A and B are shown apart, each in its own frame.
Chain A
Amino acid sequence: MKPDTPLISHLKRPLAFLLRLSLGGLFIYSGLSKIGQPYHFAAAIQAYQLLPEFFLGLTAAFIPWLETVGGLALVVGCKPRSALLLVMALLATFIILIGLTMARGLDIDCGCGLLADRQVGWRVLAEDAILLLMAAWLYATLLPRSSVA
């Protein structure tokens, strides 16, 4: 890999910090909004018609906490690269689910938790893809190796 120029090297740390806070904050907000309304989130998952009832409650309980804890870890800088892996796994899952839902022609609320009543579609798919790229870039390039325990 080519060594960075001094300017890029100088900008990396504040950029990484900002990106980490933004991603973390976004996931905390998204997670907390779902934790407060677990049954609504369960209904949103049910609308995708992919999970059997047995796993519905478990998934509706697990995902919001994963978002919140992953976001918190990013914000406070505790195992941030591991948190980024969790966040990337979540985003990749969301992208696959949204893609499948679009392919099946279902017009449903995405249940994203950020804004009310957003339909599954290209916009949501693109947002998740951008977030995934940001997280991957942050993981691969910006986080200092010294942060690993």
Chain B
Amino acid sequence: MSQNAVRQDLLWAVILGVLVLILSLTWHWSLVQQGFKGQLLTRLQEMEEQEAARRLEGVMTLNLEQTYGLHQEGKALFVDARSPREFQELHIEGAVNLIAEQLAGKTLPAFLQDIAPDRLIVVYCGTVDCHASLKVAELLQGRGFTRVAVFMGGFRVWDEAGYPVDITP
């Protein structure tokens, strides 16, 4: 490979990069400007809250005591929407791990295929502020599960209350 050819390739790559920079600045100027002005993080936060509020509209929510009651009854399926690593560290006793990524494909995860569509499913994530549970709940509803509820307090509240937890998957 001649050095001249590589040099020429690099030069054109830089020219292409500059053209792309101009194009992206022109196309997304308001986004770039918000970053420069220090307003972008606030905007992203607002968007996340709006998204969470939209998801919250179509889902049943549970507080700590309601969730504990359902856990004691033993009829509901508890779904932990946190990452597999967090789940393996500690989770609500009897819960199964399910992240949104697993619901992106056409086929359902094996353990969900045997679950009746009208079985009560309680989804939770880490804290009140996390939105993974709402996302998973929405996806489960989209897959035909009719009784999906979200435990809003999340695992931290459950753990702090001293309710049953488990480390085995």
Contact = CB atoms under 8 A, between A and B. Distances in A.
Contacts of B24: 58, 61-62, 64-66
A116 B101 CA distance: 7
Contacts of A53: 35, 38, 40-41
Interface stretch (B26-34, B64-72, B111-119, B157-165): B26-34
A82 B48 contact: no
B93 to A, nearest CB: 22
A103 interface: no
A127 interface: no
B12 A42 contact: no
A54 B16 contact: no
Interface string B83-108: 10110000000000001110010000
Given A54-B38, A107-B83, A145 B5 contact: yes
A149 B38 CA distance: 43
B9 A119 contact: no
A77 interface: no
Given A79-B16, A85-B9, A61 B44 contact: no
Contacts of B21: 62
B54 interface: no
Contact of A107 (B10, B11, B31, B86): B86
A76 interface: no
B23 interface: yes
Contacts of A54: 35-36, 38
Determine the main DSSP class of A at the interface with B. helix
Nearest to A148: B5
Nearest to A35: B27
Interface string B135-158: 100000000000000000000000
A55 B99 CA distance: 30
Interface residues of B, number: 41
B41 A86 contact: no
Interface residues of A, number: 39
A145 B82 CA distance: 51
Contact of A61 (B9, B32, B86): B32
B20 A69 contact: yes
27 contacts: A38-B31, A39-B47, A46-B44, A53-B41, A54-B38, A56-B40, A57-B28, A58-B35, A61-B27, A64-B24, A65-B27, A69-B19, A69-B20, A69-B23, A73-B16, A82-B11, A82-B12, A85-B10, A107-B82, A107-B86, A116-B104, A119-B83, A140-B1, A145-B5, A148-B5, A148-B8, A149-B12
Interface of A: 35, 38-39, 42-43, 46, 53-58, 60-62, 64-66, 69-70, 73, 79, 81-83, 85-86, 89, 105, 107, 115-119, 140, 145, 148-149
Given A42-B44, A148-B8, 16 more contacts: A39-B43, A42-B35, A46-B44, A54-B36, A54-B38, A56-B41, A62-B24, A69-B16, A79-B12, A82-B11, A82-B13, A82-B15, A107-B82, A107-B86, A115-B104, A145-B5
